[in-house]
Amino acid sequence: MLSYASPLQKRAVAFVDPRPGGGSLLDNAGSGGGEPLNVIISGLSSRAVLTDSGFLNFARSLGLSTECLGLHLGGPQSANLGDGHGAVNQTTELRADFGNAVLGTCLESLAGGNHLRMYRQNGPTANTGALFLAVSHEENLADNHTISPDGYDVGRDELVSTATAGQTSFGGVKYTTTSQSITGLLPVGSAGINHGIAIDGVVKLLTVTIV
């Protein structure tokens, strides 16, 4: 059963809906539109998964890693998760690593692939620890590295499919992941979405357990 909480509740919950706290499930892409925060890593996941290093290790078990040689073109995007912090820049940005967690993301920059931005809900009015992800699939360099057609839904589904297909592992840590679909948090269609790309409005809630 999905665990929601009002901003004043202090018990462990999956996440708090950002909207009552003035937030949104769309980040600010700086172009008049937003990227959908279409995956949430539940605050009920194993606590180590919700740390910066723990999330990176889990993401590497899904085939994503830090950007090529630590380099990034373009500024960070921000999101307001309704937790009392207001708009906060992304905590991290990861890309498909094609099986090489050290240098593989250099290939994603050329060939395209899955990509995510992570934001943490940890403010004074909603300190859930949940991680909100803006996941997308990008085109290759020849197509200016833009989001693929239907790239938000495609990127989300690719990440979730990998996470839930069976046990994943990296660096000696093993994970099992369950998924739940949530509607009503995001709009359906292209209005307000970065690049005018339509979305189906579904958010995937993942609960990740270290085994």
The domains of the chain are located at 23-210
Query: Are 54 and 41 in contact, with CB atoms under 8 Å apart?
Result: no
Task: Work out whether strand 168-170 and strand 126-138 pair parallel, antiparallel, or are unpaired.
Answer: unpaired
H or E segment to which residue 203 belongs: strand 203-210
Mean pLDDT of 194-199: 94
**Residue owning tokens 């004074």:** 124
Percent of the chain topping pLDDT 70: 82
Predicted pLDDT of residue 138? 82
For 174-187, write each residue's pLDDT tens digit: 999 999 999 999 99
Encode pLDDT of 57-84 as tens digits. Answer: 999 999 999 877 555 555 789 999 999 9
Q: Which residue has the tokens 């958010």?
A: 203
Query: Could you give the angle at the alpha carbon of 206 between the alpha carbons of 134 and 32, nearest 5°?
Result: 15
Q: Is the pLDDT of residue 4 over 70?
A: no
pLDDT at 3: 44
pLDDT, greater one: 88 or 106? 88
Judge whether 158 and 137 are in contact, CB under 8 Å.
yes
